[in-house]
Homo-oligomer: A and B are copies of this chain.
């Protein structure tokens, strides 16, 4: 039925993963179609036939990143017992991923398209929405802790979520700048050191 015509000679999953890695390493603008096709092991017409356009390919690469990198790490937020613990573990899993020697350093969602020409504004907004998503997850976990009575009624979860989001994003930059995993871990511990005073300060008057 759907097996009409010449079968494709490449593995789309492998190709997309290769594209993801290059986008992750070089960013959206920094990865050229020619390089992308090369690492994917295919020619440009095959690339366009299978993935549509550079922007479309990028979005699919981000989706793959979400599934293969993001999802696994975000689970800690729900699996780990206790808010504080959950957030600490979430940060830790992130920083471990950021320094994986087999992969580009830092988070693709943070680094791949922070800035650039007006033509690619859509791509940047797409990534910004992904970042907002991560913040929302953190926020949800905090609100759940309030619901469950672990955090005081009236705790301002927005500030706490914003703070840890900021640290998380800063960690990506540190990772790209060459920080070791031990250094990143120390930064994470520093961020968690303030937990008690932070939640104490975040209760509405």
Report A's interface with B, CB cutoff 8 A. 25-27, 29-30, 32, 110-112, 114-117, 128, 131-132, 158-160, 162-163, 165-171, 173-174, 176-179, 183, 186-187, 189-191, 193-198, 201-202
Contact = CB atoms under 8 A, between A and B. Distances in A.
Nearest to A186: B159
State the copy count for this chain.
2
Residue of A168, A191, A194, A198 with most chain B CB atoms under a 10 A cut-off: A194
A30 to B, nearest CB: 4
Residue of A115, A117, A162, A187 with most chain B CB atoms under a 10 A cut-off: A115
A191 B174 contact: no
Contact of A111 (B30, B114, B117): B114
A198 B193 contact: yes
B162 A173 contact: no
Contact of A27 (B115, B159, B170, B197): B115
Contacts of A30: 29, 115-117
